[in-house]
Amino acid sequence: MGMTMTQKILAAHAGLDKVAAGQLISARLDIVLGNDITTPVAVNEFKKAGFEKVFDKDRVAIVLDHFVPNKDIKAAEQSKTCREFACSHCVSHFYDVGRMGIEHALLPEQGVVTAGDCIIGADSHTCTYGALGAFSTGVGSTDMAAGMATGMAWFKVPSAIRFDLTGRLPANCSGKDVILTIIGMIGVDGALYKSMEFTGDGAHSLSMDDRLCICNMAIEAGAKNGIFPVDDVTMAYLAGRSEGTPVVFQADSDAEYEKTIHIDLSKIVPTIACPHLPENTHPASALHHIKVDQVVIGSCTNGRLEDMKAAYNILKGKKITDGIRCIIIPGTMQILRECVERGWYTAFIDAGAVVSTPTCGPCLGGYMGILAAGERCIATTNRNFVGRMGHVDSEVYLASPHTAAASALTGFITEYKEA
C-alpha cells in the first residue's frame, strides 16, 4: 500500500523509506514557530531543561502578534521575554512592531515556509502551511522548547481523509465557505488526529489565499494537518519569495485513505457557523433575521489581500449602517501597505470602519473589539466558542469576508449577492 502526501513528507524527515498510519516516528524539523503568548512558556522550559542554544538560528521563528502593540503590562512582559531570547540567540526570523504580522499570514508571505517542509508551531493554527504542500501542525510550548533545542519532534503518523473537490466556487464564496461547509458536514471531531488531504480539479482552481484559509481551519475539524498538492498556483506563489528550496511530494496512486468525501465547489453557498461551535453551520440566506452589533474582518484565517479586496469591493462608496462597529485588520504590514497604496484604506474609513495594525486582537478575546454581554459579532475568525471574543453571554458568528462586509451594511447577517 502506498503513502499519502503527508506520510511521504514525514517519512522523508524521519529518514525512512516508508511510514504507516499509527507509527511513532522522530522527524527532523525545518521550522519551529512561536508567538508572544506561547514562546515565553517555551523559553522557561528551554532554560529549565538546561539548553544553551537553538539548533539553528535560521529555523526558529518568533512572531509577536497576539497582543502587539502591547495592550497591558503582562503583554509587555511577555514580549520582552521574546525579544531578549531572540536577541541572545540571534534568531533570524523575529518579527516585532514595524515588521509584524499575524504569524500564519506572515510566514508564507515572507517565504519562511515552503513546499515539503516539516513544521511545528506553538499555536494550533500552524496547520495553515499545508496550503503550500508542507506538513505543519500545532504543538504545546514544551514541544516547541525541545524543537528549538534539538531540531526534532516526535509524531504519530496520521491516517488521512481525502476531500475530492470538483467545480469552481461561485463569485460570492471563498475558501472560508468551503471549510465551514466541510466542518458542518463532518463535525469538530470529524477528522480527529487525521490528515485532511484536498485533491481534484476543484482544488487546483482555488487561489493560494483560499487554500491557506482552508488549511488554517483544519484544526477546527480536529485534524492533525490539512494539505494541498503542489501545483502551478503553489509554485507561482513560492517563486521569488521562498527562502528554502521547495520539495514536491505527491500521494501514491494506491495511498490508503479512511474515506473520500466528494465536494462540488459550484454548489457551495455563503455559509455561517452559528454559536457556539464551528460545526453549527447554516446558509447565510437562512439567517437574515439575526441582528449583529460588530463586524470583524481579519485574523490568521481571513486577513489576507483577497479578503481585504472582497471587503473593499463591497464597502467602497457605501456606508456601514448606524450602530455597527466594523473592525478591519490586515494580516501583515505588507498587506496593510497594499491597502493604503490601492486606496482601500481610505475607502474603509469613508465607509465608517476602523482599520487596525496587524494583530490577532479580538479573535481570541485579546483586545481591539471585545464583546459585552448580549452582543453579537459576525467575524471572519476561526472559532466561536463560549466567551471566545469577550463576555460568556456574547455570540460570535463565523463567516467569509463577503458575508461579513455585506452584513456591516445592513446590521443583520446578509448574504452578499453581486449586482
Q: Which residues contact 84 (CB under 8 A, 6 or more apart)?
A: none
Phi then psi for residue 305, to 5 deg, are -60, -40
pLDDT for position 419: 60
The structure's pTM equals 0.95
Say how many Å lie between the first and final Cα of the chain, rounded: 51
Distance between alpha carbon 177 and the CA centroid of its chain, in Å? 14
Q: Which of 110, 139, 143 is nearest to 126 (CA)?
A: 139
What residue ranges of the chain have pLDDT lower than 50? none
Convert the pLDDT of each residue in 186-224 to its tens digit. Answer: 999 999 999 999 999 999 999 999 999 999 999 999 999
Which pLDDT score, from 0 to 100, does residue 1 have?
Answer: 79
Within 163-259, where are the H helices? 175-186, 201-205, 208-216, 232-238
Give CATH 3.30.499.10 domain extents, the chain.
5-247+257-263, 271-410
What is the grid cell recorded at 125? 493554527
Cβ neighbours for 246, distance < 8 A, ≥ 6 positions apart? 114, 115, 116, 133, 230, 234, 235, 238
CATH class, 5-247+257-263 region: alpha beta
What pLDDT digit, counting tens, does each position of 361-380 carry?
A: 999 999 999 999 999 999 99
| Confidence at residue 284, expressed as pLDDT on a 0 to 100 scale | 96
Residue 387: C-alpha distances to residues 30, 152, 239 (Å): 35, 36, 41
Fold category of 271-410 in CATH: Aconitase; domain 3 (3.30.499)
Q: Give 17-20 contacts, CB < 8 A, sequence gap 24+.
A: 19/157, 20/157
Handedness of CA 79, 226, 106, 295 (dihedral sign): negative
Q: What is the DSSP string of 135-147?
A: EEEE--HHHHHHH
